[in-house]
Amino acid sequence: MSFSRRNLLKNVVAGAGLAMGRGQAEGGESSRSASRGYPEVPSGPDPLFEKPGAITLAELAQRQTLGVTVAEVSDYAPARYQGSLAPSPPHADLNPKKAIIVVWKDQPHRLVFSHEASYDPWMELPNGVGLCNQFFEGNFGWAELFNNNGRKERNSFVDIVQAGPHRVWVRWNYLCVNKDDDSHPALRGTEDYITYPNGLVWRRLTYCSLMPDDPKGYSWQPIDFFAGAPTGTTWKDLFPRDEQHGDYLVGSVIDAYSPKRYDVFWDDDGKARRVGDAPLLLEISHSRGFALIMTFKEGYLFTIMGASSGFPSEKSQIVDNSFNDTGGEGWVSERWDHWPVGWLNSQTHDYKPGSEYPYSFGPFSHYILNKPMKNPRTDYRPAANDMELNRWSEKHVYYTLTGAAHDIESIRRLAKRWLDQGEQCARPESIANLG
């Protein structure tokens, strides 16, 4: 780097520091955050004149992380997939192994934005399994990202805004497109992911319809609670076994403000059992706040949301996709292998033992509805055609808190601490001192 270039960068950093000082002296953003007990971190994008180049996973592993950091890597494959990711299509264009990965100094999990998986991020555990919350999928499934067109960089792309070590900020923009023709996207989604050294992730999500007069251009189901897992793994490999019944606890839904809890179990033959019933699940859905939890052996991955974070209690419905009486799809323990590795132009493909591809599965979904859905086969279409609901969903901004834990009750306490901050949940600093 030349002498003049070094001086220029020093001046930029110094200027950013002076700007922060002025903000503190004048009661600006930094001083307001400090007065609430939030850590003082830069509030804007990193002061860069040249974007860092991609590195390898091996180089990322050798980096010393002081708090939290993020990097672009050039050789990532979802769920430890070892096969070829060429040609394009069906795989992602440019480099299907491109990924943006967030890592923490003292946490075993990491947050992964994978181009091959349309950048739809997931919290990944060391064994390669990861929890994903999906995105604003267009009504009727007409437009989404899990197809060849969705894997194009022009339709789904990620930018690093802040790279750490005190805070990481990643922004994901996407266009939901039809699998056969992406010339008319249905909607544009924008999501921000901000995290601190404690390993928690604050997510801000919103969308804009690009088909404002057509129900297909709207979405009220931004949270599909599902996971991707390495090929060949079984429920026995992933989830804790219930000693009494011999099946596996795959997921729980808990109320943040009461002891209420709903559990679902799958056995080796794919049959489902639950502790709780449909009325209980709806009660939790209508509480002030709740958490959905995927109870993996290596860690409980969770998503917290509630009225304080933009999900009104009266419009919330969590459905259990193993049981139709909850409004769920009746998938039970069905698995699909069209995602996270996109090996064919399809938005669904059933996984069969022996497949070389990783697979995905989804025990729960969350909907934003004017009235609860009882049977998706009869209730979905009227809800999707409800333009008042559609336009309401587009106007609003939503926030979630995701992370990893080792027990249910710690997640419940965390949920209450976050949601009790009220409208401050809309600020990323609201998670900085949690954990």
CB 49 within 8 A of CB 12: yes
Q: pLDDT digits over 202-214, tens only?
A: 999 999 999 999 9
| 376, 422: one domain | yes
Q: Write down the pLDDT at residue 307.
A: 98
**Does residue 333 lie in a domain region?**
yes
Instruction: State how far the alpha carbon of 351 is from the alpha carbons of 45, 144, 337, in Å.
Output: 42, 20, 5
| 371, 398: one domain | yes
Higher-confidence residue of 305 and 33: namely 305
Q: Phi and psi of 117, rounded to 5°? A: -95, 25
Distance CA(196)–CA(75), nearest Å, equals: 25
**Does residue 180 lie in a domain region?**
yes
Q: Write down the pLDDT at residue 320.
A: 98
**Does residue 45 lie in a domain region?**
no
Residue with tokens 């994008």, as numbered in its chain: 45
Q: Which of 216, 235, 263 is the last residue of a domain?
A: 216
Q: Write down the pLDDT at residue 36.
A: 57
Domain tally for the chain? 3
CB 14 within 8 A of CB 54: no
Higher-confidence residue of 8 and 259: namely 259
Q: Which of 188, 216, 244 is the last residue of a domain?
A: 216
DSSP three-state, residue 132: strand
The parent domain of residue 3 ranges over: 1-35
Helices within 98-221 (DSSP H only): none
Helices within 127-262 (DSSP H only): 235-238
CB 283 within 8 A of CB 290: no
34 Cβ contact list (under 8 Å, min separation 6): 24, 40
Strands (DSSP E) contained in 177-222 are: 187-195, 201-209
Higher-confidence residue of 342 and 30: namely 342
| 318, 201: one domain | no
Cis peptide before 90 (omega within 30 of 0): yes
CB 128 within 8 A of CB 79: yes
Q: Write down the pLDDT at residue 9.
A: 38
Q: Which residues partner with 193 through β-bridges?
A: 170, 203
Residue with tokens 């390495």, as numbered in its chain: 230
Mean pLDDT, the chain, whole residue set: 91
Q: Write down the pLDDT at residue 38.
A: 58
Cis peptide before 87 (omega within 30 of 0): yes
Joined tokens for residue 169: 């900020």
Distance CA(194)–CA(144), nearest Å, equals: 24
Higher-confidence residue of 33 and 319: namely 319
**Does residue 46 lie in a domain region?**
no
Q: Write down the pLDDT at residue 121.
A: 97
CB 276 within 8 A of CB 383: no
* Confidence category of residue 31, pLDDT binned at 50, 70, 90: very low
* Confidence category of residue 8, pLDDT binned at 50, 70, 90: very low
Q: pLDDT digits over 328-360, tens only?
A: 999 999 999 999 999 888 899 999 999 999 999
CB 399 within 8 A of CB 426: yes
| 29, 114: one domain | no
Q: Which residues partner with 433 through β-bridges?
A: none
Q: Write down the pLDDT at residue 18.
A: 31
| 284, 424: one domain | yes
**Does residue 273 lie in a domain region?**
yes
* CA angle in degrees (0–180, nearest 5) for 17-60-227: 105
Distance CA(365)–CA(259), nearest Å, equals: 21
Of residues 225, 209, 205, the one with CA closest to residue 217: 209
- Least confident stretch, 22-31, 216-225, 306-315: 22-31
* CA angle in degrees (0–180, nearest 5) for 245-247-251: 120
Q: Which of 187, 216, 245 is the last residue of a domain?
A: 216
Distance CA(275)–CA(262), nearest Å, equals: 6
DSSP three-state, residue 335: coil
Q: Spell 206-231 as b/e; 16+ CB within 10 A means b.
A: bbebbbeebbbbbbbbbbbbbbbbbb
**If you average pLDDT over residues 224-237, what whole number do you get?**
96
| 277, 413: one domain | yes
| 87, 205: one domain | yes
Of residues 403, 408, 404, 399, the one with CA closest to residue 427: 399
| 390, 288: one domain | yes
Q: Write down the pLDDT at residue 39.
A: 60
DSSP states along 114-159: ETTTTT--EEE-TTS-EEE----PPGGGSSBSSSTGGGSTTTEEEE
Q: Write down the pLDDT at residue 435.
A: 74
**Does residue 422 lie in a domain region?**
yes
Q: Answer yes or no: is pLDDT of 24 > 70.
A: no
161 Cβ contact list (under 8 Å, min separation 6): 45, 46, 169, 170, 171, 192
Q: Answer yes or no: is pLDDT of 67 > 80.
A: yes
| 202, 312: one domain | no
DSSP three-state, residue 295: strand
Q: Write down the pLDDT at residue 371.
A: 95
| 405, 376: one domain | yes
**Does residue 42 lie in a domain region?**
no
* Confidence category of residue 41, pLDDT binned at 50, 70, 90: confident
Q: pLDDT digits over 406-429, tens only?
A: 999 999 999 999 999 999 999 999
* CA angle in degrees (0–180, nearest 5) for 365-367-368: 160
Q: Write down the pLDDT at residue 262.
A: 98
| 18, 159: one domain | no
| 236, 366: one domain | yes
